[in-house]
Structure 1
């Protein structure tokens, strides 16, 4: 019994970060460790459990003979948005409130005083809009957007999808430019922006190549704005307006917008 106890203590001593890296106890920032590990955990949950592909996988298991229709894809998109809420907002908020004993408001959710910086949003939106209009002539863009395309007359489903689509961006901005960035800023300063950009770019790997590359620059710019203004609201506005513009640009380019909103 004593031998097992001694072995257990030796193992714990070896696994101890302080002992393993020969650090002083005060040099270990467990808050930073918690943030980084939780970011990896949230990304894994979102990628493998919280996305639309997982919904479709479960759907095929339950209804193996049922076809995948636009309605199935619609509900998969709703599930995806809810998955983003859980992994990008609920988990980080739980950690912030109950483990760090802090308010989530201080991580970019302040609204007071955002009006004086709205010009930044309009300038960035106009710049990105030009890129959207150019991308609308690429077949890869049309193959990707919009994520769902209901049949003619079913426009209400499209509008509901857009609402949940924008909600997903709210959760995403809180996760990357709020929770991740503001927490790591305390330890790494402005370098936290570039740490945050790495996973942010990686979630765009399934998107068109140029969009994945653009996410690097976008992540840096949105990170700079968030730290400068202490708010993620501008990132939310930019993301939502650009996403809606991309979907409508694709519908217009395909000549389907008027057909979708027609009465049938």
Structure 2
């Protein structure tokens, strides 16, 4: 039995040794991304901040502090750690790691063209009860514009970490081994699964969004394009849901929009 196990172990080592450098890097990237997500869900959770860390960041409102902790940990674990791994650990250039500007003219033009669709789409979605109950995630942002701005600024750091983990680290870290099409699919799968607890429309749209963003990032050779696209969606949704909460505006017509915008005053 021992000889059998020894033979299996040697076979496994030989199989791993026979992998190309690109394949080994892809395996490390996928496993690391998995660990980072689990670590964020466990150690970076709001519950850990409130129950174990006892408002360690010292915010006057511990609930706001818990969101700052959640957002900040995603920024560190999704952006800082993976970027260092690709650039320092695997000695990729920033451009190879998806950190460069890439085709910024194309990216900027597409982002500007997409913005009106975001505004219209989120305005319609914000009329749904499920979305109004979800956004903004921190209820205090609905009642104080100063808190709203601070919350959204922290949320932006979260989006940088969220987008780089999938559209940067996983996409650019696995593409040399898998090829671009499969790498785009590979980063979409966990991205969509992590939307399982979202409203159904958002959950299923995340599959399309993950594929589209992955393809766009690969075409532009820069993950940065995904940040304003995704962050703008959430900012607009948070804003419209907040305005509806403040004004009671209902419906999606121009009258309802005018009533909601009155809440900016």
TM bracket (short chain): 0.7 to 0.9
Q: Which runs of 5 or more structure 2 residues have no equivalent in the other structure?
A: 248-259
Q: 1:152 to 1:14 in 2, by over 3 A?
A: closer
2:46 to 6, 27, 52: 52
Q: Which runs of 5 or more structure 1 residues have no equivalent in the other structure?
A: 1-6, 64-68
Q: CA RMSD in A?
A: 3.0
Tell me the number of residue pairs that the alignment of Structure 1 and Structure 2 aligns: 247
**Normalised by the size of structure 1, how large is the TM-score?**
0.82
The CA distance in 1 between the partners of 2:45 and 2:229, in whole Å, is 23
1:26 equivalent in structure 2: 18
Matched, 1:241 2:232: yes
1:164 equivalent in structure 2: 154
2:8 equivalent in structure 1: 14
2:213 equivalent in structure 1: 222
Give every structure 1 segment of 4 or more consecutive aligned residues whose post-TM-superposition deviation is greater than 4 Å. Answer: 9-13, 256-262
Q: 1:148 to 1:40 in 2, by over 3 A?
A: same
Give 1:230 deviation, angstroms.
0.3
Give 1:139 deviation, angstroms.
0.7
152-161 vs 247-256, greater mean Cα deviation = 152-161
Q: 1:261 to 1:126 in 2, by over 3 A?
A: closer
Aligned 8 A contact 2:86 2:92 in 1: yes
**Normalised by the size of structure 2, how large is the TM-score?**
0.82
Give 1:25 deviation, angstroms.
3.5
Deviation track 1:222-246 (CA, whole Å, cap 9, x = no partner) reads 0000111101122111112111101
The CA distance in 2 between the partners of 1:222 and 1:112, in whole Å, is 15
1:137 equivalent in structure 2: 127
The CA distance in 2 between the partners of 1:154 and 1:252, in whole Å, is 11
Q: 1:260 to 1:49 in 2, by over 3 A?
A: farther
